[in-house]
Amino acid sequence: MKVPRILIGAVSSGSGKTLITCALLQALCDRGQHPAAFKCGPDYIDPMFHRKVLGVPSKNLDTFFTGETMTKKLLAEPQIFDKSGEWKQDISIIEGVMGLYDGLGGIREEGSAYHLAKVTKTPVVLIIDAHGMGKSLLAVIAGFLAYDREHLIKGVILNRTSKMFFQTIKPEIENSFPIAALGYFPKQEQLSFESRHLGLKLPEEIEDIREKIKCAAKSLQETVDIGKLLEIAGTAEEIEEENQETVGEIEKGERIETAGEAEEGEGIETDLGENSETTAQDAGDSKKKVSIAVAYDEAFCFYYEDNLRLLEKLGAEILSFSPLHDTHIPDNAAAVLLGGGYPELYAEKLAENEAMKRDMREKIQGGMPAIAECGGFMYLHETLENMEGQRFPMVGVVPADCHYQGKLVRFGYVEIWEKKQNFLQEGEKIKGHEFHYFDSTANGGGCVAEKPVSGRMWDCVWNQGNCWFGFPHLYYYSNPAFARSFIEKARNYQKKEKL
């Protein structure tokens, strides 16, 4: 499958990747094209800018989470269709993470934007913050090209610089290196995106965000050779058709391969029941949709798009609800999923919604399957102390208190396994990411988390029966059997409720 694509990389964080990526996506839309967006790494907020502000489909790609084979499959999966069902996607734009070569632990290639580009054979355009630089810029480019063993870097865009400097340095760049100086983006403080402790503010929190991106797109079209950029994107090699197979297998419910873990020819059987023999009634039930209530509002909005799509492929119907504004979980829900977000900013409103807290508590204590990650985990505590030191009563399912630490508590990728088999098969792991400034007086002890580089381990997760509560954000495609187990628990709960 051949799709024009390009990865927007950078020298470091703060170089302007998100703004320029959003401006490029808007510019492509203005030109009548149909781009799909991707974010390298575990970040939730950048895809929100792509989806919510621009209306461009967007999801994450991460070589640590899903290994090389599955990552290619997820990139190749179509996202945009016309009314007749034909694939309408013109180009894929991948936004990088941190500096181009920054991977696991800051030292390994795996998980870096460059590794993603290498695995998917995607050309790279490098963003360089050129503010305050002269010919030293050439040394920066030379260094990045020296590490580019696959010769993927095809062009550069200079951020926060002037037309005069770009016109002066452009021939120096192109005479010194086999890459294109595609253009520049002028310094415009009014177009910057505000940040907070977990990264950029959410799109809806930034004043005039649509106008800012439209203005940035207009500027980009005037200062960057988009035609040449599209030409570079068109040189991307074909993604092999064999990479489509596993996604289809998951949807059929036949067999799921653990990304990056299974040996050739091995996989995870998708039947997670106690007895491998099924009746005709069981087989019929397995084809019916099961409703999963997903918390989605101002306080809870951090979800990996492919996690939700995988649940749907496995038979889930996603029902959105708001712990802030609704009084109860949707009536026909057979399970609840509480993602991350910023519950600390809405702690008082969450505390005041007694009806929702009571319904949540009663249903979970009554056996409803539930997954709560990071912010969702915080919400299930007895109390939540915000950044101002104010303490508010929460749901009370987790017998502990959650409080602000003033610094990152645990940060980065983790691999997690259960001490006692429940959501995962025996001996299996699932991968995730932690990034939080809050901590709990009792993080749970049903699982063990391990850092992939340092090997540091700690106990985590309230994992018993139908519940999985903890700080790690999980990526289901790193072990799809976890998602299937959640669906099976929901089906079993639904059956019991109907008796």
Active site amino acids: 374
Quote the tokens at residue 313. 């492929």
Paired strand residues for 10: 127
Contacts of 305 (CB under 8 A, 6+ apart): 47, 58, 59, 60
Q: What is the DSSP letter of 192?
A: P
In the sheet where 430-436 sits, what is the strand order? 457-460, 447-450, 410-418, 430-436, 473-474
Token readout for 22 is: 């959003």
Q: Are strands 410-418 and 462-464 parallel, antiparallel or unpaired?
A: unpaired
Question: Alpha-carbon distance 363 to 221, whole Å?
Answer: 53
Q: H/E element holding 173?
A: helix 163-176
Bridging pattern class, strands 391-393 and 381-385: antiparallel
C-alpha–C-alpha distance, residues 411 and 474, integer Å: 14
Tokens 């084809």 — which residue? 287
What residue type is assigned to position 332 of the chain?
A: N
Alpha carbons 418 and 463: distance in angstroms, whole number: 8
| CB 453 within 8 Å of CB 104 | yes
5/234 Cα distance (integer angstroms): 7
Encoding tokens for residue 458? 């700690």
C-alpha 114/C-alpha 103 separation (Å) is 9
**What is the separation of C-alpha 166 from the centre of its chain, rounded to a whole number of angstroms?**
34
- Residue pair 197/437 in contact (Cβ under 8 Å)? The answer is yes
Alpha-carbon span 28 to 472, nearest angstrom: 36
CA distance 461 to 317: 26
Phi, psi for residue 268 in degrees, rounded to 5:
-105, 125
DSSP state of 481: H
SS3 46: helix
As a whole number of angstroms, the distance between CA 129 and CA 312 comes to: 41
- Compute the 3-state secondary structure of the chain and give helix, strand, coil in percent, each to the nearest 5: 35, 25, 40
Pairing label, strands 438-440, 398-404: antiparallel
